[in-house]
Amino acid sequence: MQTRIGVLARHAADALSAADAQLRRRQHQKGVREPRRRVAIDRQMLGDSRSPPVARAPVTFYLTNVPTIGDMDAVATIQDPRLARFYGYWLSQKGHRRFPARCDIDPIDFSYLLGHVMMFDVVAPPPMRFRVRLHGTELTERAHYDLSGKCLDEMPDAQQRALVTARCEGLVGSGEPLVIRHDRILDGRLCPYEALWLPFSGDGSSVTMLLCAMIYDNWRSLSAA
């Protein structure tokens, strides 16, 4: 009987020792982890230099007090940020005048868009013609022809030629900037694009040059369109 009691007592002591050891381990672990957690929180609150860097906000061009395009404000109309940025540049360069001049813009200032630009000189004597001063490389690669130094009526795509000619004539007559979203078929694919048309003047009153900045969207096959 005493032997049995002694065995039970030893089992109880062993169980208490194990429980006590487990409790000490938990307390020790808690005592180590809590300060670490507090240090991590303190570093985050104090902006410790070892914290991951936070990216700064991008520079944004906010166009305020701009003329309307049709019945919609230009800010809401222009979707591509490069076109919106260039429109803001055009506005800043023209100032209080109705049109900026060609000499008011520097290609270095819009290098982010230069490959997507076409520039037309207006040849005034009737019939009115448009000489292509610049045909951006991004556009020539898509169209597979380069009109630089040629007249618009030499464009091999008859449908696009008629469309662009009408656009140029309308802009010369109105003198108002335009934003166009349209589709064009190239290489058997439907190519959505957004185009910003802007007038320029050499004499301050009549439109003598036009600029079209065109951004193509992703191509879609005609079968999927």
Residue 139 token pair = 């556009």
Tell me how far apart the alpha carbons of residues 12 and 17 are, in angstroms, rounded to a whole number: 9
Question: What percentage of the chain exceeds 90 in pLDDT?
Answer: 46
pLDDT at 27 exceeding the cut of 70: no
Of residues 165, 199, 158, 164, the one with CA closest to residue 182 = 164
Name the residue with higher pLDDT: 190 or 205: 205
C-beta of residue 90 within 8 angstroms of C-beta of residue 102: no
Nearest CA to 133 out of 210, 191, 203, 74 is that of 210
- Structure tokens belonging to residue 125: 């004597």
Tell me the C-alpha distance between 187 and 185, whole Å: 7
Domain ranges of the chain: 1-54, 68-221
Q: Whose structure tokens read 């009408």?
A: 166
Write out pLDDT tens, residues 61-95.
333 334 444 434 555 678 899 999 999 999 999 99
According to the model, what pLDDT value does residue 76 have?
Answer: 60
How far is residue 36's CA from residue 24's CA, in Å, rounded to a whole number? 19
* Neighbouring residues of 171: CB distance < 8 A, sequence distance ≥ 6: 178, 197, 199, 207, 210
Q: What is the pLDDT of residues 147-176, one digit of tens each?
A: 999 999 999 988 889 989 999 999 999 999
pLDDT in tens, 115-144: 999 999 999 777 899 999 999 999 999 999
Condensed to tens digits (0 to 9), the pLDDT of residues 29-42 reads 545 444 333 333 33
Selection from 61, 42, 62 nearest residue 51 by Cα: 42
Q: What is the DSSP letter of 78?
A: -
pLDDT of residue 224: 43
- How many Cβ atoms are within 10 Å of 57's Cβ, its own excluded? 6
Give me the CATH topology for the region 68-221: Beta-Lactamase (3.30.450)
Name the pTM for this structure: 0.65
Q: pLDDT category, 26, cuts 50, 70, 90?
A: low
